[in-house]
A and B are shown apart, each in its own frame.
Chain A
């Protein structure tokens, strides 16, 4: 848990002071405080705590088999479109369950980030920027965890169900905001106290460690020990909340509704984590990189995605959580309208779609258009920057403000872009 990033980082000294001040001064605010966890961030929220859930369809889901079908055209493929619960918004027949939830959701059909590389497309969609040499922007999960998580939350702000990601996602925000990966659908490793330790012994051990750390810190630089101690403290808090990772408590009815396959369980875990107060949950569904047999594989993959995702949306609505939970279904890019000789579709960032719903998002709206066979955006072209501004606005944050990296301001969202206001409620 040693966090080497923090070495020589003035930002973390500020963080420590700011953090302590934040605890004592409440929301009074201190210059440079606004980008940090705590009352400053909380003050930005327009209502109760917001959460974000990203369903990441890895490999690049086809917009033509999901949110922007073009049946009967040279690019449309064999699948039809179906009406949804949102009048005027038809989606692919591969998403019949989701179609029944579209009155809670909206789609953006006019993304053009011009990127056909997995890594670069992923970076754009998760940071809202193009890659820049020598600098990494925080990923959406880390950024939201930092800004939306309550200061005293014992929970990690960003959980990646199914594992994946890493501390690099937090970039200069620090590893506290890196994703906690829940591999194979279980809780974090070593969540339970070692069997050989009693609670009293464990407490004494931690007190001793703190004492030694304090002695070590005397006359030495603060950031390393700060982060070091912080990690232990967070781990201890997390251990105290280990019940939220007890996914064995899932009911048979829930498992039936969500499906007993891995993605179904992951969606159910996402619901439980959000209900438990986790700020940002990312659920991967893999894989959609269908250069070959696009239609068979989308039939297979979306057949698995559809029901649990629809159950998740339905549950959020039924539990009156939609107003506080931003739902995003994204990929690194879409897929080519052209069908290749392998009956596949290739990488395509020029005219594709995502689905949004929940917090701050209008219900049942389609923004942007592509042409008749989906080869170009014809109305309201947007890119990753626009999407990030929109996410920020949707959860009540101001995307025009800055983070601070070593006291240097870093715009939270690309200043050249702006929010897609048509989709904001």
Chain B
């Protein structure tokens, strides 16, 4: 639905500075952005693959530890089992000895009593019998002590055995997760290694083959699927992430290299537009509930840092000024609002539109803002004074349908050429049935200097539907339109000559488009629950031989 709020050339220049400042990438002078980003992707993929490899090694080490723990526990258990057996034998021997000693003691006592009671027995015999009895009693007491000791030893041995059994069980329990972690790590490594290999091959290919975007090369390279259709999308200036505004009211972020998905919940309605605040890593999102949110977008778990209730009714479009000072927003309350990016303070309200405002865009020179509405009027505002300068007539993009008593169309896409010479407005024209969406995808090209319309463009094919997003290529002389009707389409024109260059059919309507800062890839927010990434660059061979 939106295109660019900063010209792509400007965007790339800022990006390079931004990345350099962050220490994220090197950009040798004159290197093609496609190569720079391919190298960056390769580096990120390699790092991820290395991290994944490290994870595998770590998991293997942990598995080894677990296995050794089992072995140690098993050995300890064997020792304790032997100790228990020995203790049992000793205990049994002590019991036997005690039994025998007790018997001897009892017999001796009986005998001593008998001798004592025997009148015929002499004193010596009596004394000896008594001494034997005393000795036997002492022996029995000693045997009892030994038995006690053996019993205690047996209890200790049993306890030790229990502990070693438990230790073994614990070691065995720890083994399975360690094995699982290793398997998982190995499983994860394979695709990441493949990604890294592919990214390295692509970077190597682009090092020898200039990565130039051409319409005819367009091809699908990635598909990210969620649960509902996507309404909007934006690739961040680092080129690492794509953000999609989904009809479940969430923003979904995917890592373009690693394909990892992270949700950003926060809005209460469909997200209509995104902007990145230049010089920061802040993402702004605007949604139909009327709010703007600022996000720390690159965080592992992105968080909101600011919320602004910006408009009564839907916010349909936002744009950041190239210098990063301002964010302009507009929507159904027909007012353009200018906010200070640093603190979200309202600076100015621009009145003058008479219908819902669908788009806002800053001129690449940062000195002017253009806003476009449902009725096909575009207004130019001077940034220095925020005064209205002039109107552009984009009426071919609007129709009042007398049958249905409704206005239809409007400025669905808005883009400046990188050099600022042309302003493109897109939507639906030649509407024959407003409520069935029957009309032609249409783009109007205006000469910025004169304000005059110089071209009215349609796709080469007889597609019926609307342009939903427009973007000039930052370095090549073509303009890209994305949109749809029953299905979707990507359309390429030369804005200077007014020539339709190439049509590319899409399986589903595309409601928004965002060009990657490499100038080769573009993201589409599609009706079929997907964010799709298409590539306009040269296709790397299946395998690039090493140099």
A contacts, CB < 8 Å to B: 59, 71-72, 74, 78-80, 286-287, 289-293, 296-297, 299-301, 339, 341-344
Q: Return the chain B residue nearest A261 by Cβ.
A: B405
Would B435 and A287 count as touching, CB distance under 8 A? yes
With A292-B437, A296-B374 known, 11 other A-B pairs at CB within 8 A are: A74-B228, A78-B288, A287-B404, A290-B435, A291-B435, A292-B408, A292-B434, A293-B437, A342-B437, A342-B509, A343-B511
Q: Which residues on B sit within 8 Å (CB–CB) of A286? A: 404-405
Is residue B406 within 8 Å, beta carbon to beta carbon, of the partner chain?
A: yes
Would A80 and B404 count as touching, CB distance under 8 A? no
Q: Mark B262-275 against chain A: 1 for CB-CB distance below 8 A, else 0.
A: 00000011100000
Q: Which residues on B sit within 8 Å (CB–CB) of A339? A: 229, 247
The complex places the Cα of A292 from the Cα of B527 at a distance, in Å, of: 13
Q: Return the chain B residue nearest A74 by Cβ.
A: B228
The complex places the Cα of A339 from the Cα of B465 at a distance, in Å, of: 16
B contacts, CB < 8 Å to A: 227-229, 247-249, 268-270, 288-289, 314, 332, 356, 374, 403-408, 434-437, 465, 484-488, 508-509, 511, 527
The complex places the Cα of A119 from the Cα of B296 at a distance, in Å, of: 54
The complex places the Cα of A292 from the Cα of B269 at a distance, in Å, of: 20
The complex places the Cα of A293 from the Cα of B477 at a distance, in Å, of: 32
Q: In the complex, how many angstroms separate the beta carbon of A78 from the nearest chain B beta carbon?
A: 4
Q: Which residues on B sit within 8 Å (CB–CB) of A59? A: 404, 435
The complex places the Cα of A287 from the Cα of B401 at a distance, in Å, of: 10
Q: Which residues on A sit within 8 Å (CB–CB) of B487? A: 341
Would B269 and A80 count as touching, CB distance under 8 A? yes
Q: Which residues on B sit within 8 Å (CB–CB) of A293? A: 408, 437
Assess A78 versus B408: contact at CB under 8 Å? Given A59-B435, A292-B437, A341-B508.
Answer: no
The complex places the Cα of A59 from the Cα of B356 at a distance, in Å, of: 23
The complex places the Cα of A301 from the Cα of B485 at a distance, in Å, of: 22
Residue from the set A80, A300, A344 with the largest chain B CB neighbour count within 10 Å: A300
Q: In the complex, how many angstroms separate the beta carbon of B439 from the nearest chain A beta carbon?
A: 9
Q: In the complex, how many angstroms separate the beta carbon of A249 from the nearest chain B beta carbon?
A: 26
22 A-B pairs whose Cβ atoms sit less than 8 Å apart in the complex: A59-B404, A59-B435, A71-B269, A74-B227, A74-B248, A78-B247, A80-B269, A286-B404, A287-B403, A287-B404, A287-B435, A290-B435, A296-B374, A296-B408, A297-B434, A300-B406, A301-B406, A341-B484, A341-B486, A341-B487, A341-B527, A342-B484
Would A289 and B435 count as touching, CB distance under 8 A? yes
Assess A291 versus B406: contact at CB under 8 Å? Given A80-B269, A341-B486.
Answer: no
Q: In the complex, how many angstroms separate the beta carbon of A386 from the nearest chain B beta carbon?
A: 30
Q: In the complex, how many angstroms separate the beta carbon of A146 from the nearest chain B beta carbon?
A: 31
Q: Which residues on B sit within 8 Å (CB–CB) of A343? A: 511
Would B289 and A299 count as touching, CB distance under 8 A? no
Would B436 and A291 count as touching, CB distance under 8 A? yes
**Count of chain A to chain B residue pairs whose CB atoms are closer than 8 Å in the complex:** 74
Of the residues B227, B270, B332, B508, contact of A299 by C-beta under 8 Å: B332
Interface of B is mostly: loop
Would A79 and B269 count as touching, CB distance under 8 A? yes
The complex places the Cα of A291 from the Cα of B228 at a distance, in Å, of: 19
Would A291 and B404 count as touching, CB distance under 8 A? no
Q: Which residues on B sit within 8 Å (CB–CB) of A79? A: 269, 288
Of the residues B249, B314, B407, B485, contact of A72 by C-beta under 8 Å: B249
Q: In the complex, how many angstroms separate the beta carbon of A362 from the nearest chain B beta carbon?
A: 32
Q: In the complex, how many angstroms separate the beta carbon of A82 from the nearest chain B beta carbon?
A: 12
Would A80 and B289 count as touching, CB distance under 8 A? yes
The complex places the Cα of A289 from the Cα of B436 at a distance, in Å, of: 8
Residue from the set B405, B436, B509 with the largest chain A CB neighbour count within 10 Å: B405
Residue from the set B434, B435, B486, B487 with the largest chain A CB neighbour count within 10 Å: B435
The complex places the Cα of A343 from the Cα of B228 at a distance, in Å, of: 13
Q: In the complex, how many angstroms separate the beta carbon of B215 from the nearest chain A beta carbon?
A: 24
The complex places the Cα of A296 from the Cα of B511 at a distance, in Å, of: 14
Q: Which residues on A sit within 8 Å (CB–CB) of B508? A: 341
Q: Which residues on A sit within 8 Å (CB–CB) of B407? A: 300
Considering the complex of A and B, which 4 residue pairs feature the smallest CB-CB distances, nearest first? Answer: A292-B437, A287-B404, A78-B270, A78-B288
Residue from the set A72, A74, A299, A343 with the largest chain B CB neighbour count within 10 Å: A343
Assess A342 versus B404: contact at CB under 8 Å? Given A289-B435, A292-B437.
Answer: no
Residue from the set A78, A287, A291, A300 with the largest chain B CB neighbour count within 10 Å: A78
Would A80 and B486 count as touching, CB distance under 8 A? no
The complex places the Cα of A343 from the Cα of B436 at a distance, in Å, of: 10
Q: Which residues on B sit within 8 Å (CB–CB) of A341? A: 484-488, 508-509, 527
Q: Which residues on B sit within 8 Å (CB–CB) of A299? A: 314, 332, 356
The complex places the Cα of A286 from the Cα of B332 at a distance, in Å, of: 21
Q: In the complex, how many angstroms separate the beta carbon of A73 from the nearest chain B beta carbon?
A: 9
The complex places the Cα of A71 from the Cα of B287 at a distance, in Å, of: 14
The complex places the Cα of A21 from the Cα of B453 at a distance, in Å, of: 76
Q: Which residues on A sit within 8 Å (CB–CB) of B509? A: 341-342
Q: In the complex, how many angstroms separate the beta carbon of B489 from the nearest chain A beta carbon?
A: 12
Q: Return the chain A residue nearest B355 by Cβ.
A: A300
Would B332 and A297 count as touching, CB distance under 8 A? no
The complex places the Cα of A290 from the Cα of B485 at a distance, in Å, of: 14
The complex places the Cα of A120 from the Cα of B208 at a distance, in Å, of: 67
Would B437 and A344 count as touching, CB distance under 8 A? yes
Q: Which residues on A sit within 8 Å (CB–CB) of B227? A: 74
Q: Which residues on A sit within 8 Å (CB–CB) of B248? A: 72, 74
Would B332 and A287 count as touching, CB distance under 8 A? no
The complex places the Cα of A256 from the Cα of B285 at a distance, in Å, of: 37
Assess A297 versus B406: contact at CB under 8 Å? Given A287-B435, A339-B229, A342-B485.
Answer: yes
Q: Return the chain A residue nearest B511 by Cβ.
A: A343
Q: Which residues on B sit within 8 Å (CB–CB) of A291? A: 435-437
Q: In the complex, how many angstroms separate the beta carbon of A118 from the nearest chain B beta carbon?
A: 12
The complex places the Cα of A299 from the Cα of B228 at a distance, in Å, of: 22
Assess A78 versus B435: contact at CB under 8 Å? Given A341-B509, A342-B485.
Answer: no
Q: In the complex, how many angstroms separate the beta carbon of A285 from the nearest chain B beta carbon?
A: 8
Q: Which residues on A sit within 8 Å (CB–CB) of B408? A: 292-293, 296-297
The complex places the Cα of A343 from the Cα of B468 at a distance, in Å, of: 12
The complex places the Cα of A286 from the Cα of B465 at a distance, in Å, of: 23
Q: In the complex, how many angstroms separate the beta carbon of B249 from the nearest chain A beta carbon?
A: 7
Q: Return the chain B residue nearest A291 by Cβ.
A: B436
Q: In the complex, how many angstroms separate the beta carbon of B314 from the nearest chain A beta carbon?
A: 7
The complex places the Cα of A299 from the Cα of B437 at a distance, in Å, of: 16
The complex places the Cα of A341 from the Cα of B436 at a distance, in Å, of: 11
Q: Which residues on B sit within 8 Å (CB–CB) of A344? A: 435, 437
Q: In the complex, how many angstroms separate the beta carbon of A297 from the nearest chain B beta carbon?
A: 5
The complex places the Cα of A304 from the Cα of B164 at a distance, in Å, of: 82
Q: Return the chain A residue nearest B488 by Cβ.
A: A341
Q: In the complex, how many angstroms separate the beta carbon of A163 from the nearest chain B beta carbon?
A: 13
Q: Return the chain A residue nearest B332 by Cβ.
A: A299
Q: Which residues on A sit within 8 Å (CB–CB) of B228? A: 74
Q: Which residues on A sit within 8 Å (CB–CB) of B465? A: 342
